[in-house]
Structure 1
Amino acid sequence: MAAYSGPHNPSRGGFGGGGWHRLGNALKTTVLLAGLTALVLLIGEQLGGAQGLMYAGLFAVVMNFGSYWFSDRIALAIHGAQPLPYEQAPWLHQMIERLAARAGMPKPKVYLLPTRTPNAFATGRNPSHAAVAVTAGLMDILDQRELEGVLAHELGHVRNRDTLIGTVAATLAGVISYAAQMLFWFGGSMLSRSDDDDGGIADVLAKLGLLLVAPIAATLLQLAVSRSREYGADLAGAELSGDPDALADALLKLERGVEAMPYDRAPATSHLFIVNPLHHGGVMSLFSTHPPIPERVRRLREMGARAGGYKARGPGGWEYAY
């Protein structure tokens, strides 16, 4: 890899391919989130006409506002994450501080999740209000080089504003699924009234079709957001750490760790983690919030091959091509 020349400068490119790449991702995200919001509004209109549309719009605004300001606290509290004091793991804090300096961003807060499942995630609305959480199991199975690759991946998410986008997408998708469930449970009388209106049975069928399709469409839109961001964070992490193969090695270990010890606490937040904590095989893998590990590893290996590989410096660490 080319020699590292100090903290990342956004005007130089990097972290996912430069300014045009980031602009393309921003436009894609805008379209996807607009699609989710449109589904929320459509369900609201179908449930309650103009009044339902208004309530749906207000609800979407409130949920997005809450996601923006409190997403980090909510995610950390859900998983029982606790602040990791500097004196308990100074080497980990120093590693994150060093990576953050290379990225040209403030050092995020560091949290520990009390689970043996190896994983990590980042949260927060922007680089100035961010946190990185690691599980106890993560530090048990990764060496220093692999751990740095994982942390670089998470800082890549923060740098690219993926943490906020993922939370908002999950919130909107959750609203859509919840609204559909509410109508199935309590909307029988509403559908019956619709049968008496001008639309008749056709209107009822249209509403039922919407209820069936909307949650699936919301899930697919959410997956599109999550999967594209994982590839971008892999690239950003490889550039930031200077060692694509280290991140590839870590992903393979984490995949095996999750297979052995799945983590099913708060499935709705599974997209936040570097690997899907809910191990699903077969057909269910099509609905995973993460792209396939083999494809992620393949891309990272190709980056490592183009960079010419990396040499071990010895037991004490690694010599990166900076």
Structure 2
Amino acid sequence: MAGYMKTAVLLAGMTALFLGAGFLLGGQSGMMIALLVALGMNAFAYWNSGKMVLRMHNAREVDARTAPEFHGMMRQLSERAGLPMPRVFLIETDQPNAFATGRNPENAAVAATTGLLRRLSSEEVAGVMAHELAHVKNRDTLIMTVTATLAGALSMLANFAIFFGGNRNNPMGFVGVILTMILAPIAAMVVQMAISRGREYEADRIGAEICGKPLWLAAALEKIDAFSRRIDYHAAERNPATAHMFIINPLHAHKVDSLFSTHPKTANRVARLREMAGAPSAAAQPAGPWG
């Protein structure tokens, strides 16, 4: 519950930041324009973001005929999670990774790279995909879409100020315009990263409960982290704004995330999962059907 409260506070903070930036850059009319832009962009993202992300990564849909083992695993995990069966996609790339998308559980999709299925054991893959279903269950896919959209809209507002000069009659004058242009996009990115990191910990916990074995997910995270540091993921490099959606940051190969981290440290996530596995409640959980 504390995690959800923190996310709600951060989302409210980002919305307030967006409206405040609109006021400083354009006065009351600027604030209203900012609100309308935010509503429009969020409405578009709500209906179209899932399809857009899957298209960016050239994901192809698979079914029980084209990928029987993987599709069957997703069906069993969905049943354990109490979720509708999501659409299942594969991405042709050697880096092991995965993400979930969709505005709600009824319209969800999960995508895994072919490298994930090739380089990890079936138990580890189950841990990863249970983590992605946890994001679906928590509706994190919608939360992250909203934050990414607001962050992008703030950057757009800052660009408008560069071309049109902003509202110099605000309480801070021209200095306020300059500070807003520089600091607002950075602040939005920090909030976005904070929300993303918080949701990853929660998805690890619930994903471990879904698959029944926290150590499966812990082992998977360590392997994916190691592989991502030496295997390039070219589609992700071309679309870095989608990096926060993956279970492990796919951009590690070029260290583009050194300033702002979209994910918690893998070692911290693994430590929490191992602690979870050592608790009586976790140890007593039944093995999944992939053992």
Determine the C-alpha separation between the residues in 2 that align with 1:160 and 1:312: 23
- Count, aligned residues: 286
Structure 1 residue 70, shift from structure 2 partner: 1.7
* Among 269, 274, 278, the residue aligned to 1:296: 269
The aligned amino acid for 1:114 is E
**Distance in 1, Cα, partners of 2:47 & 2:256:** 36
Q: Which residue of the partner structure matches residue 71 of structure 1?
A: 49
Q: C-alpha displacement at 1:64, in angstroms?
A: 1.2
**Separation in structure 2 between the aligned mates of residue 115 and residue 208 of structure 1, nearest angstrom:** 42
Q: Distance in 1 between matches of 2:244 and 2:216?
A: 22
Q: 2:155 aligns with which of 177, 182, 188?
A: 177
Name the structure 2 match of 1:18: none
Secondary structure (helix, strand or coil) at the match of 2:219 reads helix
Deviations 1:101-159 (A, max 9, x none): 11111010001112111100000111111000011111111110000000100000000
How many angstroms apart in 1 are the aligned matches of 2:231 and 2:220? 16
Residue equivalent to 1:27: 5
Conserved 8 A contact 1:79-1:265: no
Q: Residue 238 of structure 2 aligns to a residue in which SS?
A: coil
In 2: Cα distance, 1:198 partner to 1:220 partner = 25
SS at match of 2:25: helix
1:94 maps to 72
2: CA distance between counterparts of 1:172 and 1:58?
12
Superposition map of 1:206-245 within 5 A: 206-245=176-215
Among the aligned pairs, what percent are the same residue?
48
> What is the aligned partner in structure 2 of residue 11 from structure 1?
none
State the AA in 2 paired with 1:134.
A
Query: Residues 232 and 253 of structure 2 are in contact (CA less than 8 Å); yes or no, is this contact kept in structure 1?
Result: no
Q: Give how far 1:311 is off.
A: 11
Aligned CA distance change for structure 1 residues 290 and 280 (closer, same or farther; 3 Å): farther
| Local SS of the residue matching 1:234 | helix
Mapping for residues 1-322 of structure 1, pairs under 5 Å: 21=1, 24-184=2-162, 186-187=163-164, 190=165, 194=168, 203-263=173-233, 264-279=237-252, 284-285=257-258, 287-306=260-279, 307-308=282-283, 317-318=290-291
Confirm or deny: 8 A CA contact 1:148 1:241 kept in the other structure. yes
1:27-54 deviations in whole A, cap 9, x for unaligned? 3222211211222212222222222111
TM-score normalized by the length of structure 1: 0.83
CA distance in structure 2 between the partners assigned to 1:317 and 1:129 by the alignment = 26
The 1:77/1:302 distance shift into structure 2, 3 A limit, reads same
Contact 2:27–2:170 at 8 Å: present in 1 too?
no
Consecutive unaligned residues in structure 2, runs of 5 or more: none
1:71-123 deviation per Cα after TM superposition (whole angstroms, max 9, x unaligned)? 21121112111111321211111111001111111010001112111100000
Give SS of 2:269's match: helix
The answer on whether the counterparts of 1:244 and 1:304 sit within 8 Å (CA) in structure 2 is yes
- Looking at structure 2, the residues matched to 40 and 280 of structure 1 have their Cα atoms a distance apart, in angstroms, of 32
Residue 26 of structure 1 and its aligned partner are, at CA, apart by 3.0
The answer to whether the Cα contact below 8 Å between 1:71 and 1:164 also exists between their aligned partners in 2 is: no
Q: Using the TM superposition, name which of 219-228 and 278-287 deviates more.
A: 278-287
Cα-to-partner distance string for 1:235-261 (whole Å, 9 max, x where unaligned) = 011111111111010001101111011
State the partner residue of 1:3: none
After superposition, give the CA deviation of every residue in 1:9-30 in whole Å (9 maximum; x if it has no partner): xxxxxxxxxxxx2xx3333222
Instruction: Give the AA of the match of 1:298.
Output: A
Could you tell me how far 1:178 is from its partner in structure 2?
2.4
Unaligned ranges ≥5, structure 1: 1-20
- Which amino acid is 2:52 matched to? I
* Greater displacement, 77-86 / 144-153: 77-86
Structure showing greater Rg: 1
The runs of 4+ residues in structure 1 deviating greater than 6 Å are 280-283, 309-313
Q: Is this contact kept in 1: 2:25–2:180, CA < 8 A?
A: no
